[in-house]
């Protein structure tokens, strides 16, 4: 089955294996981000990017995501943005931030939906990766999170949906 890696209409309540096509994106590159800085980076990025896409007549093709290029440690390096319907020509400047054209990768993927607050993501990732390995698959970088439910001050954290996605090396 071929699917877009950026959005699935229904949550995947169990690990699902798919073949994903490359998806054009517009992203901010965040390097050396400490865990306690993530909320600020996300808020700053999306506060600038959402109106920036409109200003440049670029259409989002799904929910926001973060694509991680290395395993988290004391700091993280990731792209933060949206899948888009057309490839961005050049750079997009918005809110003092430079955004770039990029791509969510094609290939065999494993995915599952995490339902609940962001504080449960570390445990969700651990259980997801354990299951993928138990199913006999090997993963490779990058991996990404798709923020299907838009967060906000009035959103009940228990209603949030984040899709976890990892590339497979098999």
In tens, the pLDDT along 65-123 reads 999 999 888 999 999 999 999 999 899 999 999 999 999 999 999 999 999 999 999 99
Beta strands in the chain (DSSP E): 2-3, 16-20, 23-33, 65-68, 76-83, 92-94, 97-104, 107-115, 139-147, 161-168
Say how many domains are in the chain: 1
Nearest-angstrom CA–CA distance, 84 and 102: 10
Nearest-angstrom CA–CA distance, 149 and 5: 16
Range of the domain at 73: 2-168
Nearest-angstrom CA–CA distance, 38 and 20: 27
Residue 5's pLDDT is what? 47
Q: pLDDT tens, 6-64?
A: 456 889 999 999 999 999 999 999 999 999 999 899 999 999 999 999 988 899 999 99
pLDDT of 132 > 60? The answer is yes
CATH number at residue 65: 3.20.80.10
Tokens of 55: 């200003």
């Amino acid at each position: 089955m071929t699917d877009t890696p950026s959005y699935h209409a229904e949550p995947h309540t169990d690990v699902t294996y798919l073949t994903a096509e490359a998806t054009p994106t517009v992203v901010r590159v965040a390097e050396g981000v400490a865990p306690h800085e993530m909320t600020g980076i996300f808020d700053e990025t999306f506060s600038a990017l959402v109106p920036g896409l409109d200003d440049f007549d670029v259409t989002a093709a799904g929910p926001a995501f973060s694509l991680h290029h290395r395993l988290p440690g004391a700091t993280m390096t990731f792209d933060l943005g949206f899948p888009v319907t057309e490839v961005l020509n050049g750079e997009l400047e918005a809110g003092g931030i430079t955004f770039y054209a990029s791509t969510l990768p094609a290939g065999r993927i494993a995915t599952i939906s995490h339902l609940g607050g962001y504080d449960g993501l570390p445990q969700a990732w651990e259980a997801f990766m354990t299951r993928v390995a138990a199913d006999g698959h090997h993963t490779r970088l990058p991996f990404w999170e798709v923020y299907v439910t838009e967060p906000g001050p009035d959103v009940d954290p228990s209603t949030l949906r984040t899709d976890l996605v990892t590339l497979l090396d098999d």
